Amino acid sequence: MIPVILAYKRPELVQHSIARLLEIDSEYKRIYGKGAFSSIFLIHDGLRETEDKASQGFHQETRELCVDLERANTKIQSITFNANLGLTHHMFRIIDNLDSELSSYIFFEEDKAPSMEGIQFLIQTSKSMNPADLIDTLPFNRHESLRQKSICTLFTDNGNTIIGDELLEVAKNVWFDNYRYQEIFSKNLYEYLGSFLSGFALKRAYSFYLGHLQSGLTNVDRTDSLFAYSLIVLKRFKTCPSSRLSEDWSDQDNRGKNVNSLPIGRNVSCKSHIIKIWQQNVCSFCERQGINDRTALNPVRAIFNSIGYRASRFR
């Protein structure tokens, strides 16, 4: 396998992630007689035009660290880009320059630390993965009562991921010709939501996610929404372990673009309300929780959220 770390301006997390990967590689070699990784890619993106001087300094520090890490270990390859095109174009250009099968690469940002168990799960699962799937190591909750090692879901905290070739192809097609897929996306979205929601909750969730996931078709930094949209087009879900197998460090550094505090309710034990959707095992409780994180699914909460939003505009 080949880890691909998407680095930007958090040098301490880059350093810690590399240290963790080298530790896993050494332990894997001790157990199996061969390292887990043939190489490790550090991908440093270009600087956004909107960054202030402090951020420019952190960005440069990260770039220098990537070069130093490459010099210190022959297994590490540092690749830098001068232009910042947004995350979606950035992912496409990285993948276009890879020289091995896509299923050999593990993609993650520097704040999603891998674990030995997570790498073992990815290596094993990738051997028989559906090319229309995406494998991720950070499901919302633990499903300790599951007999199988994996579960399917649309919602994760975007940990260490492997992307299927067919999913990537559809994501590119959706990105460059999104109107072509709107009808099938809308139909499949309603079918998916209707599997575990009804009435007000179904109407509310469908209306919200019809717009929310479509943001991935126009916003250059919403690659997660683009892939979620593409999965629904394909009637597929992410494949995840039955419990979280990466560490989320996003609350340890406030220099990230995303919110750096973990949502309440992550990594709790779920009683596994397993249902079949599109011939895949999905937990209806976790799917509902994933939606509820974004929009209210009952009328009372919806009204209070609306009042709170309107009030905040006048503060």
Contact between residue 44 and residue 11 where contact means Cβ atoms under 8 Å apart: no
Q: Is the pLDDT of residue 312 over 50?
A: no
Mean pLDDT of 306-315: 42
Nearest to 218 by CA among 89, 49, 48: 89
Identify the band that residue 107 occupies on the pLDDT scale cut at 50, 70 and 90: very high
Q: Which domain holds residue 123?
A: 2-312
Give CA angle at 169 (43, 227), nearest 5°: 70
> What was the pLDDT predicted at 250?
83
Identify the band that residue 273 occupies on the pLDDT scale cut at 50, 70 and 90: confident
* Poorest-pLDDT segment among 116-120, 123-127, 249-253: 249-253
Contact between residue 5 and residue 43 where contact means Cβ atoms under 8 Å apart: yes
Contact between residue 205 and residue 295 where contact means Cβ atoms under 8 Å apart: yes
Contact between residue 219 and residue 111 where contact means Cβ atoms under 8 Å apart: no
pTM score of the predicted model: 0.90
* pLDDT 10s digits, 6-23: 999 999 999 999 999 999
Contacts 24+ apart (CB under 8 A), 177-180: 178/214, 178/217, 178/218
What CATH number does residue 222 fall under?
A: 3.90.550.10
Count other Cβ atoms within 10 Å, centred on residue 169: 14
Q: Is the pLDDT of residue 261 over 70?
A: no
Q: Where are the alpha helices (DSSP H) in the chain?
A: 11-32, 53-72, 87-96, 116-126, 165-176, 182-193, 199-212, 223-233, 284-292, 299-312
Mean pLDDT of 165-188: 94
Question: Which has more confidence, 266 or 40?
Answer: 40
Q: Is the pLDDT of residue 35 over 60?
A: yes
Q: Is the pLDDT of residue 43 over 80?
A: yes
* pLDDT 10s digits, 138-171: 998 888 878 778 999 999 999 999 999 999 999 9
What is the total count of domains within the chain? 1
Rounded Cα–Cα distance for residues 29 and 236 (Å):
34
* pLDDT 10s digits, 46-79: 999 999 999 999 999 999 999 999 999 999 999 9
Q: What is the mean pLDDT of the chain?
A: 89
Percentages helix, strand, coil for the chain, rounded to the nearest 5? 45, 15, 35
> Tokens in use for 71?
């010099």
> What was the pLDDT predicted at 94?
95
* Poorest-pLDDT segment among 44-48, 166-170, 214-218, 256-260: 256-260
Q: Is the pLDDT of residue 315 over 90?
A: no
Mean pLDDT of 40-46: 97
> What was the pLDDT predicted at 59?
95
